[in-house]
Amino acid sequence: MNQSATISSAAPASTRAGLLVRYGIWIALALTLLLLPYVFSSRLALSTMSLMGTMIVFALSYNMLLGQTGLLSFGHAVFFGLGGFATVHMLNLVGGNSYPIPLPLFPVVGALGGLFFGVLFGAVATKRAGTAFAMITLGIGELVASSALILRRFFGGEEGITTDRTDMLRVFGYSFGPQIQVYYLIAAWCFLSIVLMYAITRTPFGRICNAVRDNPQRVSFIGYDPSTVRFIAFSLSGLFAGVAGGLSAINFEIVNAAQMGAVESGSVVLMTYIGGVGNFAGPIIGAILVTWLQLILSDATTVWPLYVGLLFIGVVMFAPGGIAGLLSMQQPLLAARTLHRVLPYYFLMFVPGAVAVAGLAMLIETSHQFSIRAAYGPRMTLYSIPFDVTTLTPWAIGAVVFAVGLWLFLRAARLARNAYDAALPQRGNR
């Protein structure tokens, strides 16, 4: 995978400049998290960023399984939800200041909850890998989600458990009522989790995980038990998912059974894979992108899951490394200072690509207006052009734009590919 190439380039340390290169990225990340609220100060932006921060931790924890250990889980939301429930129960227990514990420490409770259930379910699930593992996690997910509605005292039934985060011991007078304070709490935990999860990938254990992903047989030859490695990875992944659940509980002050369901488990798969499983930063990109799509694309069109589904299929088929994979493919070119040779081709590819997407969107939206939204009349406006969907013209235009765009895109993609290969330094990573 590309990961090793990406990381090793940051490795030469020991000199001062080396240290700066090594830690510069973390300082930049911390500064970004610190300064973001000054750039986007609206309350919506704060809520959105808080949600994104939570989802980043969640997606990264998922990638400990999928990307690093090669385990495809369809029930990861279980740990997210159970971590959230652990946190919210502890908040209510401690609430009213009966024990002096400040709010920022509570994600630890989520972590412990996630770890506990990670160990419990991991003991069952990680005996197997591959397809069987995927099915077991699917089954566990269903089991927990169904039980949650039956066990009403712990899970609070359909409406879930609510809490009040401002009711805790206050440190430095922070009440955590305003969203901005919650944002910083989440940002801090997000940063900490990213650092920890990155650190885990750098340990010998992280390496063994990769080995289990790539060739479990050889791992057992060198004396490690693959299923033990999977078990530890699964438990740790549950721990961080629990942190994410705890952050979510603090952010929304409510946790309920829907959070553990198949939909949530599915969306973390989408986030992680679209972002890129082969690169540590991939899930971060994916979490930001998919959360954004869920919130914003859903305003533009109610068939947004279709677009997300198509995007996902597109990534699986054409860019299995995800968005981060595509970005890190540029690394060797950047190092060889040949990127400028390829950029024009990318631009050439991008234009018809955008045209093709626009044409496809036009086809989809026109059919949507024609079928589901028929009661709203045949008139609609797309790209600020009004038209009538009962006439043939918009369909024809959409189809032609799509076809032409796609054809040109494929041509340009071939050119770009050649240019890329040519620009790649000799003895490159392929």
Partner 1 sequence: MRTFIGSAALALAMLGSTALSAMAQETIKIGYVDPLSGGGASIGQIGLNQLNFIADEVNARGGINGKQVQIVGYDNQTNPQISLVQVQKAIDEGIQVIVQGNGSSVAVAVSDFITKYNERNPGENIVHLNYAAIDPVLTNEKCSYWHFTWDASADIKMEALTNFMKDKEDIKKVYLISQDYSFGHAVAGAAKRMLNEKRPDIEIVGDEYHPLVRITDFAPYVAKIRASGADTVITGNWGQDLALLIKAAGETGLDVDWYTFYAGGAGAPTAIKQANLENKVFQINEGINNLGYGPAEERAGAYMERFSSAPVYFPRVFNMMDMVFKAMEEAGSEDPGDFIPKLVEMKHDSFAKGEEGFMRADDHQFFQPLYIAALGELGEGEKFDEEHTGWGWKLAATVPTEDTLLPTTCEMERP
Partner 2 sequence: MLEIILVSTLNGVLYGMLLFLMASGLTVIFSMMGVLNLAHASFYMLGAFFGFEISRRLGFWPALIIAPVLVGLIGMAVERYGLRRVHKHGHVAELLFTFGLTFVITEMVEMFWGKLPVDYRVPPSLDFAAFTVFSVNYPAFRLFVLLISVAIFIALLLTIKRTRIGLIVQAALTHPGMVGMLGHNVDRIFMLVFGVGVGLAAIAGVIAGPILITQSNMAALLGPILFVVVVVGGLGSLGGALVASLLIGLVQTFAVAFNVSLADLFGTSQLSAVLEVWLADIWRVTIAQIAPIMPYILLVLVLIFRPRGLMGTRDT
Q: Which residues bind partner 2 (CB under 8 A)?
A: 66, 70, 72, 124, 127-128, 130-132, 134-136, 138-140, 142-143, 146-147, 150-154, 262, 266, 269, 273, 303, 305-306, 308-310, 312-313, 316-317, 320, 367-368, 371-372
Contact between 158 and partner 1 per CB under 8 A? yes
Nearest CB to partner 2, comparing residues 165 and 213 = 213
Of the two residues 15 and 302, which places its CB atom closer to partner 2 in the complex? 302
Q: Closest approach of Cβ 52 to partner 2, in Å? A: 22
Tell me the angle at which helices 16-39 and 43-69 cross, rounded to the nearest 10 degrees.
140
**SS3 of 238, please?**
helix
Task: Give the contacts of 245 (CB within 8 A, at least 6 positions apart).
Answer: 58, 79, 80, 81, 82, 83, 84, 85, 86, 87, 110, 113, 114, 255, 259
Cβ within 8 Å of residue 388, ≥6 positions away: 378, 379, 394
Identify what 284 binds: partner 2, partner 1, none; CB under 5 to 8 Å per kind. partner 1
Report the nearest approach of partner 2 to the CB of residue 127 (Å): 6
CB of 135 to partner 2, least distance (A): 4
Q: What is the DSSP string of 195-229?
A: HHHHHHHHSHHHHHHHHHHH-HHHHHHTT--HHHH
CA dist 109 and 86 (Å) reads: 6
Place of tokens 């290169």: 21
CB 6 within 8 Å of CB 279: yes
Which residue, chain included where needed, has tokens 């999977």? 230
Stretch that binds partner 1, among 153-161, 183-191, 207-215, 383-391 (CB under 8 A): 153-161
| Nearest to partner 2 of 322, 359 (CB atom) | 322
Regarding 304 and contact with partner 1 (CB under 8 A), the answer is yes
Contact with partner 1 (CB under 8 A): which of 331, 338, 395, 408?
331
Using CB under 8 A as the binding criterion, the count of chain residues that bind partner 1 stands at: 69
Q: Which is nearer to partner 1, 374 or 396 (CB)?
A: 374
Residue 391 interacting entry, from partner 2, partner 1, none, C-beta within 5 to 8 Å by type = none
